[in-house]
């Protein structure tokens, strides 16, 4: 039986001297694989070609069209604070509010950096993939635009 006074020492020994919080903070996500795959399938079905995934430019966009200099990001509604879908969790509200705001701030910063480098940026929210025609129309419009410098 584990008694409350032994819990802290048990957590330290079980995880090689690290607390559970420290261990969990080191776990990195694998990305928004499901939504990216959905968008890739949508591109293929619509005959959209010339895209690459995860090229090494600021923000590492999910998809990019180098010739037209278009960067496409697929943002999860929760992690990027979609105005329509996002609901702040009821527990640890201050943490989640700060976390989501930091993600939004980073998104704005990445958008600005890419635009200064001459790229056009398209951010597609997870919920927008439910309307593939509108999503593809936005992409086609952006790819056909000439960039104004």
List the structure tokens of 134. 């509108």
Residue 149 has pLDDT above 70, yes or no: no
Residue 68 has pLDDT above 80, yes or no: yes
pLDDT tens for residues 26-38? 766 555 668 888 9
d(CA 41, CA 123): 17
Element containing residue 48 per DSSP (H, E): none
Asked whether the beta carbons of 37 and 45 are under 8 A apart, the reply is no
Q: What is the DSSP letter of 148?
A: P
List the structure tokens of 26. 């080191």
Residue ranges per domain, the chain? 1-29, 31-144
Asked whether the beta carbons of 86 and 100 are under 8 A apart, the reply is yes
pLDDT tens for residues 103-133? 999 999 999 999 999 999 999 999 999 999 9
The residue assigned the tokens 């910063």 is 109
Pick the CATH number of 31-144 from 3.10.50.40, 3.30.9.10, 3.50.30.50, 3.40.960.10: 3.40.960.10
Task: Give how far the C-alpha of residue 68 lies from the chain's centroid of Cα atoms, to the nearest Å.
Answer: 22
């Amino acid at each position: 039986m584990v008694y409350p006074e032994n819990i802290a020492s048990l957590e330290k020994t079980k995880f090689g001297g690290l607390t559970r919080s420290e261990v969990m903070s080191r776990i990195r996500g694998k990305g928004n694989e499901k939504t990216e795959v959905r968008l890739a399938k949508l591109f293929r079905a619509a005959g959209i070609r010339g895209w690459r995934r995860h090229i090494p430019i600021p923000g590492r966009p999910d998809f990019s069209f180098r010739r037209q200099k278009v960067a496409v990001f697929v943002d999860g509604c929760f992690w990027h604070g979609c105005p329509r879908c996002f609901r702040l969790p009821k527990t640890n509200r201050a943490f989640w509010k700060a976390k989501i705001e930091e993600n939004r701030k980073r998104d704005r910063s990445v958008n600005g950096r890419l635009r200064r480098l001459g790229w056009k940026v398209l951010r597609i929210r997870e919920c927008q993939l439910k309307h593939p025609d509108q999503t593809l129309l936005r992409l086609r419009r952006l790819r056909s635009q000439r960039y104004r410098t």
